[in-house]
Structures are given as structure tokens and as C-alpha cells.
Amino acid sequence: MKYCQQCAADLHYRIPEGDDKPRYCCIECDLVFYQNPKNVVGTLPIFDGKVLLCKRAIQPRKGKWTLPAGFLENGESSLEGAIRETDEEAGASVKVSANSLYTLFNLPSINQMYLFFKVELENLDFEPGIESLEVQLFAEEEIPWKEIAFPVVKTTLESYFEDRKNNVFPVRMFDVHHSADKVISTTLISENKV
């Protein structure tokens, strides 16, 4: 980040007046450019006890299996974004229940937050979108655990298979910590067992 988006003057990285953190600030018009975490939203789509996974057609983790998810866009709610991504990546329509919010992940090392919603597939009409090579339903014993693209996906799947033993699905929040691009720990932070 070198130039002001409003006046094209140079940016300096300094603490603005009244702030306590350094930001990119324009030396001419004083505009401050804040940088904040982004949200990734997705679904855990269920049909007849099986889970829908997508084989990634793009990097990172091309060829690995994931849940449909992507960056939340301006103008949409987290659930709307999750449903959109499910349509884009898996061509799938979903039914949303009253307790759809399921897992949240803080990834402070990469400035992201993930939210997954537990939803039901409306039918078996699904097909790979442009970012997927394949889309497939997996029973628990069929899950390709060693080929799962991201720890947030693995933890969401593990939570689901554990929780469905009791048919109780608390909302769980985890912190995921990275070191040199590798996940070093996933810690349960909040779980509303009621």
C-alpha cells in the first residue's frame, strides 16, 4: 500500500491522531486506510445423513475436499453469503432451519473469521461450479479425512458427527493459530451447552 486512493499522494504508515495503532495515512489529504479482518462464510450441507463436499479446482489446496465457502460480500448477510457460495461452488439449493448457525473460527494470524451454517440440501440436483472439480455426498465412514482442504472444515465435520449422536448442535467458536502458514492449534473458545 503506497498511494492514497483518493488523491494519489504518498501514504505514510503512522499512528493517526486519537488512535493508538499505526495505519496507512495520506500525507496530503490525511485520509486513513484501515485494514480489518474479512469474513468467510459457508455451509455444512446435509442430505439423508450424508455431507456434501466439493473437490477444489483452484489453489490453495487444489484437489482437496472442502465445504462450500467464500468471502462475505458487501450488501449480504452471513447466511445469504453462505447460501450463495453453496450455489456457486456446488450448484446446490438448501433449506435453512431455525438453528443453522453452527461453527465460528477466529483466524487472527491471517485476519479472517469463518462462519459455517448447518443446512439441509433441498434435493440431489447439484453439480460442480467453476471453483470445484467434483461435488459428492459422503457418509461418515466415507469422509476422506486425509484429503480435507482446511482445518476449519475438518473441525466442523468432526463436530457434526460428534453432535449428531445426541442430536444436539451447540454453536461452537474456535481460535485457529498459524505459524509460517501451518495451523499449529485449534482451540475451543465458546460452546453454548445449555
Residues 125-164: x/- map of binding to a copy of itself (CB under 8 A)?
A: -----x----------------------------------
Q: Is 34 in the site for a copy of itself (CB under 8 A)?
A: yes
Convert 121-145 to b/e letters by CB count within 10 Å (16 or more is b): beeeebebbebbeebbbeeeeebee
Give the whole-angstrom CA distance, residue 91 versus residue 124: 10
Total number of residues that touch a copy of itself (CB under 8 A): 52
Shortest separation between residue 142's beta carbon and a copy of itself, angstroms = 27
Q: Is 186 in the site for a copy of itself (CB under 8 A)?
A: no
Angle at the Cα of 37 (from 33 to 42), degrees rounded to 5? 140
User: What is the number of alpha carbons within 13 Å of residue 104 lying toward its C-beta?
Assistant: 16
Partners of 145 in the β-ladder: none
Which of 75, 146, 165, 179 binds a copy of itself (CB under 8 A)? It is 75
Kindly state the cell numbers that stand for 10.
Answer: 504518498
Give the whole-angstrom CA distance, residue 48 versus residue 96: 15
Which of 111, 140, 161, 185 binds a copy of itself (CB under 8 A)? It is 111
Convert 81-107 to b/e letters by CB count within 10 Å (16 or more is b): bbbbbbeebbbbebeeeeebbbbbbbb
Q: Is 179 in the site for a copy of itself (CB under 8 A)?
A: no
Q: For a copy of itself, which stretch binds (CB under 8 A), given 61-69, 92-100, 121-129, 137-145?
A: 92-100
Q: Is 184 in the site for a copy of itself (CB under 8 A)?
A: no
Shortest separation between residue 20's beta carbon and a copy of itself, angstroms = 8
Q: Which residues bind a copy of itself (CB under 8 A)?
A: 1-8, 11, 18, 21, 33-39, 71-80, 98-101, 104, 106, 108-109, 111, 113, 117, 130, 168-171, 173, 175, 189-194
